[in-house]
Amino acid sequence: MTAPDQTLPTNCRLCGYLCGLLARVEAGHVVDVKPDPNRYPYDPHIVNGCLRHRINPQFLEHPQRLNQPLKRIGARGSGRWETCSWEQALDDIAQRLGNLRQQFGAETLATSIGGARGVYWPLHRFMNLFGSPNNIGIGQICWNPQVWVNTLTFGWPIEYELDPDLTRCAVLWGTNPAESDNSLLWRTICQFTRQGGSLIVIDPRQTRTARRASLHLPLKPGTDAALALGFLHAIISEGLYDQAFVNDWCQGFEPLQDHISQYPPEKVAALTDLPASDIVQAARLFATQRPATQISGRGVDQIGANSVQALRAMAILRAITAGIDLPGASHLGQMPDFIPEIDLELTDHLPESQRTKQLGADQILLQTYSGYERVNAFTQRHARRLPHRYLTSAHPNLVWRAMQTGDPYPIKAMIVMASNPLLSHADSRLIYTALKSLDLLVVLDYFLTPTAMLADYVLPVAGTLERPVLQTDAGISNIAYGGPAAISPLAERRTDYDFWRELGIRMDQESYWQWPSLQACFADILAPVGLDWDSFCASGLYAPPRLYHQHENIDPATGEPLGFATPSGKVELYSTILEQLGYDPLPVHSPNETALTKPGFKENYPLTLLTGARQQPYYASEFRQFSQLRTHHPHPLAEISSQTAELISIQDGEMIWVETANGRARFQAKICEIRPEVVSVEYGWWFPELEASEPDLGGVWVSNANLLTTAEFETCDPLLGQWPYNGLPCRIYHADSSHMKLA
C-alpha cells in the first residue's frame, strides 16, 4: 500500500538550529520543503534567508549519498569496496572489537565526534560500557572553554540574551553571526542595531557583522585577554562597576584591582594595536549602557593559550558590571527538568582503573575525570551536574600519536561519528598516518568523506528529515527542541542510535539499550516534564520561563541565601579552583610567541594566519557536493588586505599558496578589509568530484586549512588542552610560482 501524499511538519538538520519545516511527501520521498511558520524560528523569512534549507530534498536523494554499508576489500584507501548487510558489518565489527579489547585492553578503541550535529550520548554510553576513556571531539576549541570558564567563575554555564527591546549594548567578541548564524541571532542583531543599540565588534577582520557596529575593534589576533584586561582597568579605575553586586556577591575584587593596574589603556593599546581611546570608549559603553550583553565565538576559543585567559577576563567583566541574571544581558542556565545528558551517558559504569588511562589524564588539569570531579563537588551541592564525556575527552593529538607509535599503549580501532577529522582536526598529515595505522576504522556518515575513504567499514546514516530530532544543549540548560521525521530512512540507511544499540547488544550491553528506536528514547527523555512525543512535536519546543537571581533563594538547610555553586559560594573573580590547580587565578595576557623567537622564523613567516572563519553557505566540511551551493561559492578563499596584495602583486581572484611551518594549501585570494598583516582562510574544503581514493582522497591535500595547523600536545594549554587555529605565523605566494616569499 502506498502512503498518501502529505505535507508534514519536520525539522531541517543541515546545521545545529533545527529550523521547523513543512515537507511535502510523495510516495515516501520528500519533494519539497518550506518554512513552518508555527514552529521555531517562527518566521519564514529567517529560513528562506538560509540557502541550505532548500537542498533538503536533494540531500536525501543525492547520487553520492551512502545507501548501503560498504566494506573495504582492497588496501586501505584504495577505493575498493563491496556492499554488505548491516548485520554482517555489525557482527564483524563486534567480533574484531572484542578481539582487540582482549589483546590490548578496552582503551585501544577511540571514537571521534564532531560539532553540534547528532545525538552523541549513545556513543558515550557505548564507550562507558565497553570500557574505553578515549573519546575525542573538538570540544577543547568549541563550546567547552566557555562552559568550563563560566562554571569556574559563576558555578554554572551562562546563557547570553539579546533582546532588541531591552539590551542597550552588545559586544560580539570573535564571532561573525552574519556568516555563522543564518538564523535568529543575526536577524536579532540587525533589529537591535536598527533600534539604536550600541554594537561593539571585536574581530581582526572587518566582517559583515563588524560593518553594522557602532565600534569595531580590529585587534591584533590573540590579544583578546589583554583587551579584556584593559576594559577591566578602565571600568574599575573610573568606578563604573556595580559596587553592590561586587560587595555582596563577588569574591576577590581587591586582588583583581591590584592585578589590573598592570593593564592601563596605553599598554593595552600597544599590545592589541588599537587606539587607547577606542578601548576606553568600548569599556565605558559596556559598563554604562546596561543591560549589556556579551556574545563570544570561536575567535576567542581558538587562540591557544590565551583563550582561557581571555574568557576568564570576559567573565569577570560580565560579573563586575552585574551582567548576569539580568534580562537583556544573560542568565545562569538551569539543570533540565527532562533526563539530562549525564544520566544518559552512564559514565558511572566506566571503572576508575580505565579512567586513569585516558590519554592526557595525567597532564591536563581540568578537561579530565579528576578535573570534572573537582568542579562537580560544588555544582552538585546545587543539584547541578554538567555532562561528563564532552568535558573529559582524551586529547586528540595524543590519540593520533598513540595510533602511530603505540605509545603509551596502542590505539588500534576508531569509530568516527558525524565528524571528518582529516578536515576538522589540526595537522591532517599526522591524522592521515595515524588512521592508516589502525586495525579497524569505522565511519558513520552521509557521504564518502576523505576520512571515510580510509575506513574498513563505512555505514550509511539516516539524517535530516529521515529521523526525529531532539536537541537539549547537552543538559546545561532547561531547553529542548526538535520534531518528527518526515519520512522513514531511505535505502538501507539507519540512525546513529541504531548502530550503537546494535553494536552494544552484540557486546553484552543488551540491558542498557532498552529503547528500540530513537523516538522511543526521546519520549522517555521528555517524560519527566509530562510531555509525550506527539504533544512535544506540536510546538517542537520545551522552554519554561527563565529563572533569575537563584543565588538569592534561601537554602532551607542553612537559612542562608543559596549563593553560587563555587567553592566560595560567590562569583569567583579570583578563581580558587584555578589556584589549586596551579593555574593563574586571575587572568593574564601571555602571548605564545615562542615559535617567533626561533632564528629566521619571523622573516620566513611574516604574516598572521586565521583559519576557519565561517562563510556561507557551507558548514565545516559539508555540502561541497551540491552544485547549487558550489555555484554560489565555488572556491576556497583566502582573505588578504590590499596592502599585502600590492606588496607581492597579488590580484583579487588569483590562486595563492598559504604556507606555515606545517605545510601549505591553495586558496583563491580575496582582497578585503582586514588587518594588513593578517591572512584568513576558510576551512573544511575538499572536492567530492575528485577521486575517492589514494592519493587524491577527494582532494584533501589541496585546500585543506588543517594542513597548516598543528596541535602538538606539549604546546597546548594545560588547563583544557586547547590548540590555536588562529594567530599562526604564515607566508603567501602565487600558486604558479614555487617558493616566492613575502619580501
Ligand X SMILES: Nc1nc2c(c(=O)[nH]1)N[C@H]1C(S)=C(S)[C@@H](COP(=O)(O)OP(=O)(O)OC[C@H]3O[C@@H](n4cnc5c(=O)[nH]c(N)nc54)[C@H](O)[C@@H]3O)O[C@H]1N2
Q: Does 115 bind Mo ion (CB under 5 A)?
A: yes
**Shortest CB 57 distance to ligand SF4, Å:** 13
Q: Between residue 552 and residue 611, which ones bind ligand SF4 under the rule CB under 6 A?
A: none
Euclidean distance between CA atoms 729 and 593, whole angstroms: 10
Is residue 461 near ligand X by the rule CB under 6 A?
A: yes
For the bound state, the minimum distance from the C-beta of residue 451 to ligand X, rounded and expressed in Å, comes to 7
Write the interaction track for ligand X spanning residues 248-287; mark x where CB under 6 A is met and - where it is not.
----------------------------------------
In contact, 59 and 464? CB cutoff 8 Å: yes
Report how far residue 314's alpha carbon sits from residue 36's, in angstroms, rounded to the nearest whole number.
37
Longest dimension (CA), the chain: 77
Q: Cα 204 to chain center, whole Å?
A: 20
Write out the binding residues for ligand X, residues 592-611 only, by CB under 6 A: 610-611
Q: Which of residues 258-297 bind ligand SF4 (CB under 6 A)?
A: none
**Which residue's CB is nearer to ligand SF4, number 18 or number 119?**
18
- Phi and psi at residue 10, in whole multiples of 5°? -160, -175
By CB under 6 A, name the one of 14, 303, 332, 361 that touches ligand SF4: 14
- Answer yes or no whether residue 699 interacts with ligand X by CB under 6 A: no
Alpha-carbon dihedral sign for residues 434, 440, 444, 450? positive
> Which of 449/660 has CB closer to ligand X?
449
Element (H, E) at 459: strand 457-460
Helix runs in 131-220, H state only: 144-154, 177-180, 184-194
Query: Rounded to an integer, what distance in angstroms lies between the CA atom of residue 337 and that of residue 353?
Result: 33
Stretch of residues binding ligand X (CB under 6 A), selected from 26-34, 445-453, 537-545, 582-590: 445-453
DSSP one-letter string for 85-150: -HHHHHHHHHHHHHHHHHHH-GGGEEEEE-STTS--HHHHHHHHHHT---EE-SGGGTTHHHHHHH
Q: Looking at beta carbons only, is 52 or 168 nearer to ligand SF4?
A: 52
250: helix, strand or coil: strand
**CA gap 542, 519 in Å, rounded:** 16
Site string for ligand SF4, 48-67 (x = CB under 6 A): --x-xx--------------
Q: Quick check: 629 binds ligand SF4 (CB under 6 A)?
A: no
Q: Is residue 620 close enough to count as binding Mo ion by CB under 5 A?
A: no
Residue 180 carries which side chain, given as an amino acid letter? S
With CB under 6 A as the rule, give the number of residues binding ligand SF4. 12
**Cβ at position 351, least distance to ligand SF4 in Å:** 39
C-alpha span between 721 and 723 (Å, rounded): 7
From candidates 705, 707, 711, 720, binder to ligand X by CB under 6 A: 705
Cell digits of residue 202: 571585536
Check binding of 233 to ligand SF4 (CB under 6 A): no
Q: Which amino acid is at 5?
A: D
Interface segment toward ligand X; rule CB under 6 A; list 63-71, 100-108, 444-452, 481-489: 444-452
Residue 381 CB partners (closer than 8 Å, separation 6+):
565
Residue from 142, 210, 440, 671 that binds Mo ion (CB under 5 A)? 142
Q: How far is the CB of 237 from Mo ion (least distance, A)?
A: 36
Pairing, β 169-173 against β 198-202: parallel
C-alpha cell at 163: 533582546
In this structure, the strands spanning 135-136 and 109-113 are parallel
Site string for ligand SF4, 157-186 (x = CB under 6 A): -------------------------xx---
- Based on the shown chain and the rule CB under 6 A, indicate whether residue 692 belongs to the binding site for ligand X: no
Q: Find the shortest distance in angstroms from Cβ 46 to ligand SF4.
A: 8
Using CB under 6 A as the binding rule, whether residue 371 contacts ligand X is answered as no
Cα 673 to Cα 302: distance, rounded to the nearest angstrom: 21
* Binding at 343: pick from ligand X, Mo ion, ligand SF4, none (beta carbon under 5-8 Å per type): none
End-to-end CA distance of the chain: 72
Binding status of residue 481 toward ligand SF4 by CB under 6 A: no
Task: Pick the piece of the chain touching ligand X (CB under 6 A) from 172-180, 267-275, 386-394, 584-592.
Answer: 172-180
Residue 175 binding ligand X, by CB under 6 A: yes
**Angle formed by the axes of helices 144-154 and 306-320, nearest 10°:** 40
Instruction: Please report the sign of the dihedral spanned by the C-alpha atoms of residue 378, residue 382, residue 387, residue 390.
Output: negative
Rounded-to-integer distance, Cα 173 and Cα 227, Å: 11
- Note the residues at the interface with ligand SF4 (CB under 6 A): 12, 14-15, 17-19, 47, 50, 52-53, 182-183
- Note the residues at the interface with ligand X (CB under 6 A): 114-115, 117-118, 138, 141-142, 173-177, 179-180, 202-205, 207, 219, 221-222, 224, 297-300, 302-303, 417-420, 423-424, 444-447, 449, 461, 463, 496, 610-614, 616, 618-622, 680, 683-684, 705-706, 709, 725-727
- Note the residues at the interface with Mo ion (CB under 5 A): 115, 142
